[in-house]
Structure 1
Amino acid sequence: MHRRLAFIDTLRGIAVLAVLLQHALEQIVLNGSAGDYYRILHNAVGEYFNFGRFGVALFFFVSGFVIPNSFPDSSAPIRDFAISRVFRLYPAYWVSIVVVLLIAPGFEAKTFPLSQILANITMLQMFMNVPNLNIGYWTLAVELIFYVACIALFAIGFLRTRWTAICIVVAASLTAIVAAPFVKAHLFWGLLELMLDLTAMFLGKVVRDAVIGERLQWRHVAICTLLYVLYAAVCAYRRYGVDYQDNFFCAYGMGAAYIAAAIVFVAFAGLGERGAVGVLSFVGRISYSVYLMGPYALVVVVHFFGTGQSPLQWSVFVIGVACVSILVSWLNYLTVEKPMIAFGLRFRSQALRAVTLQPSLRGQGAE
């Protein structure tokens, strides 16, 4: 089982389409066009399941599957890893910032202070307590934390030790499970929600070590996944509660999203290439651009065409948003993302060991 790129990209495709679906359905509800279906739609994408968080969690699992094994066998692996990540993330991200600065004033009547723009350019705005220009940027902060964690573990020689990821998943999960009956502080559970996202990434590595190289066994995956599911359930309960406030966040919906993402990821890992779907793999290859550009495509479509007034029109609206997002993102991928990835690779050391799997995955982090 060496060729995993189609499997990885299929999962990315599912993830980013789930995020688009959440945002599109939220617009139907928020624009007041749901009519008699208002409560049904609101419950479907808020109280009982959050497709957006499902997609984001799936991205985190994929990132954990890929990133820890993206350090090249070169004379300076940490430097080369960092260079690859910078050119993978920042150019397309900067383009998305330009787009929001062009679109927001005319389509959403929004303007941003220069200090907020400059902070967002660094991608470190959340660490500066500065609002995101696009709410979806929060996931990039989690990715950066994971990269730093991987660099630290790699530097001390623990990243590729087979028990490291297991220990992290078990320790984090047990902390939440044990604390659930006793600790109710919102800040505490906010931190544990962040740790839940990071734990998803390390669980992704556990799965990778089981399906590639057989460094771990499926019983390890089963134990870690069960603990993660319990972690997600208690964290969602303490973080969001079961009293739905019509804000698209509820213990049921958020917990179900995290748990479903874990199940889907593990199931596809078991299927391997048999679970790959060509169309989804294509969307997965450009998923970072779709994630960045999708919200702006949604704004433009809503501005010019609205969301519709009936289930049929809503279906056309959702499909239209997906198509426009994919088209714009494909162009961004071809003109910015892909060339910048190649440009970044030229800065890396050339003494790379020939590895069957890694060239397919190198530089393909889940954003």
Structure 2
Amino acid sequence: MLRGFAALLVLFQHLAETIIATHALPLPIEQAGVLLFDGIFHFGRFGVALFFLISGFVIPFSFRTDRPVRGFAISRAFRLYPAYWLSLGVALLVLHMTGARAPAAVTIVANVAMIQHYVGQPDIVVAYWTLATELAFYVLAAFLVAWGVLRAPFVLAGGIVALFGAALLLALASHLVDKRLPADLPLNLGLMLLGTMLRLAMLERNAIAVRLAGILCGLFLAIVPVVQFMTVPPVGAPGFNLAPTLGYIGALLLFVGVVGAGSEGTRAVGRHSVYRRVTKWFGTISYSVYLFHGPVILACGTILIAGDPGSALRYVAVVLSATILIAAVVYHAVEEPMARLGHRMIRRPVPAQAPGLAEPILATPTVGPIFVETEFR
């Protein structure tokens, strides 16, 4: 449920921003929208923070073969890149069709590799910035697995503190040098590791993790306002942008509350099988919803007419319908087949192995709360 909910929140934020920018709504409603979405609560950042927490909660425990780093790298590549490349191609096509300026070749190549943020290139689709953060977290998780410390609470705690400290230092430096530095990267990586710590504490009941998790959650809640104050809005702008801060805080509180509900939530959802199937299905297609909502929003932009509230309603209906339809098709036609292919490659014996010692099948994921899907295919 949480993955689908997070994807909807990001879509909701981007829809609202586009409608506000085109002045389709009456001025009082538009002003209220600006206040809500830009000044009070950033639903997009709320959804992204949820994604990061879920990744930290789930992804590190995907290392489940006798060659875990190899298996993890293959499964992630087949899970992320095919649908991402398709969305990138669609985005470039939409940009061409709408007459927008084509990105430079180096920008396209960097986006294809999903490393644009690390080589100073812009995102072709705004939402892509989170994927570069996911890649960095995968490298960090692989390092922890290779050193055998993924389940070491004190090591995780040290990493979280170091990342939050780096975010704080970069935020303070941004203020001193009058230039926005990438404080969000260590902040988000620390949030993802915090998701891993919360798994150890709340699902696996590790006694040390239980004691550390509350302290680290408190540290995050204390660090976020400072980092946002120093870096958002851009240095030199007046005031304090509360919206992303509350987005981060709300995501952590919701995540802890839902995961903490545990079996009670599972039993409650189990009594509503239709609701359970719908939310599970939407969580399943959430990655494609996240990837394709940007190009759909851009492609449907001509529906919006300044001063016409009806056009805003039509725009929302068309974008939601098209995004969900495309996401469902892409999941079944691209994501699912590619994930199966990746799993077959993981199970394939390596020539260096002794005869009869093929790599075991990827283990069944640990069962967790129904609200936090534990399988990332």
Moved more, 231-240 or 171-180: 171-180
Name the counterpart of 2:19: 28
1:264 aligns with 2:254: yes
Could you tell me how far apart the structure 1 residues matched to 2:235 and 2:80 are? Answer: 37
Shift of residue 130 of structure 1? 1.9
Equivalence for 1:3: none
By how many angstroms is 1:97 displaced?
1.3
The 2-side partners of 1:186 and 1:16 are apart by 35
Q: Aligned pair 1:234/2:233, yes or no?
A: no
Matched, 1:111 2:109: no
Q: CA deviation at 1:131?
A: 1.9
Q: Secondary structure at the match of 1:191?
A: coil
Taking the TM superposition and a 5 Å limit, the aligned residue runs for 1:291-306 are 291-303=290-302, 305-306=303-304
Is the Cα contact below 8 Å between 1:17 and 1:322 reproduced in 2? no
- Map 1:317-356 onto structure 2 (within 5 A): 317-349=315-347, 350-352=359-361, 354-355=363-364
Instruction: Report how far residue 54 of structure 1 moved.
Output: 1.0
Measure how far apart 1:316 and its partner are. Answer: 5.1
- Decide whether the 8 Å contact of 2:156 with 2:193 is kept in 1: yes
Q: Secondary structure at the match of 2:346?
A: coil
Structure 1, residues 104-154: CA drift from partner, whole Å, max 9, x if none? 111252322333222221112222212221121111110110011111111
Tell me which moved more, 76-85 or 128-137.
Answer: 128-137
In structure 2, C-alpha distance between the alignment counterparts of 1:353 and 1:142, rounded to whole Å: 25
Distance 1:13 1:178 in 2: 34
Where does residue 47 of structure 1 map in the other structure? 39
Deviation at 1:82, TM superposition (A): 0.3
Shift of 1:66: 0.7
- For residues 155-304 of structure 1, what are the structure 2 equivalents within 5 Å? 155-173=146-164, 184-185=175-176, 190-216=181-207, 218-241=210-233, 251-272=241-262, 274=265, 278=276, 279-303=278-302
The letter for the 2-side match of 1:88 is R
> Which residue of structure 2 aligns with residue 89 of structure 1?
80
Counterpart for residue 374 of structure 2: 361
Measured on the aligned residues, the alpha-carbon RMSD in Å equals: 2.9
Whether contact under 8 Å (1:16, 1:287) holds in the other structure is yes
TM-score (normalised: structure 2)? 0.84
> Could you say which residue in structure 1 is the equivalent of 2:352?
none
> CA-to-partner distance for each residue in 1:169-216, whole Å, 9 max, x for gaps?
234345656897897336887333211111110111111112222114
State whether residues 33 and 309 of structure 1, in contact with CA within 8 Å, keep that contact through their aligned partners in structure 2. yes
Tell me the CA shift for residue 252 of structure 1.
Answer: 0.3
Change over 3 Å in CA distance of 1:253–1:343 after alignment to 2: same
CA separation in 2, counterparts of 1:115 and 1:181?
A: 32
Residues 114/58 of structure 1: CA separation in 2 closer, same or farther (3 Å cut):
same
Note closer, same or farther for the CA distance 1:99–1:183 as it changes in structure 2 (3 Å cut). Answer: closer
Whole-Å separation in 2 of the counterparts to 1:178 and 1:125: 23
- Where 2:300 maps in the other structure, the secondary structure is helix
**1:296 and 1:177 mapped to 2: Cα distance?**
34
Structure 2: gaps of 5 or more residues: 270-274, 348-358
TM-score, scaled to structure 1: 0.86
Q: What is the identity, as a one-letter code, of the residue corresponding to 1:151?
A: A
Q: Is the 8 A contact 1:69 1:358 kept in 2?
A: no
Q: What is the deviation of 1:157?
A: 1.3
Q: Which amino acid counterpart does residue 38 of structure 1 have in structure 2? A: E
Displacement after TM superposition at 1:223 (Å): 1.7
In structure 1, what residue type is equivalent to 2:324?
A: I
Partner of 2:355: none
Contact 1:47 1:244 in 2 (8 A): no
For structure 1, the 5+ residue unaligned runs are: 1-9
**Equivalences, count:** 351
Distance in 2 between residues matched to 1:91 and 1:181, nearest whole Å = 39
**What is the SS of the residue equivalent to 2:182?**
helix
Higher-Rg structure is 2
Shift of 1:228: 0.7
After superposing the two structures, state which structure 1 stretch, 116-125 or 82-91, moved more.
116-125
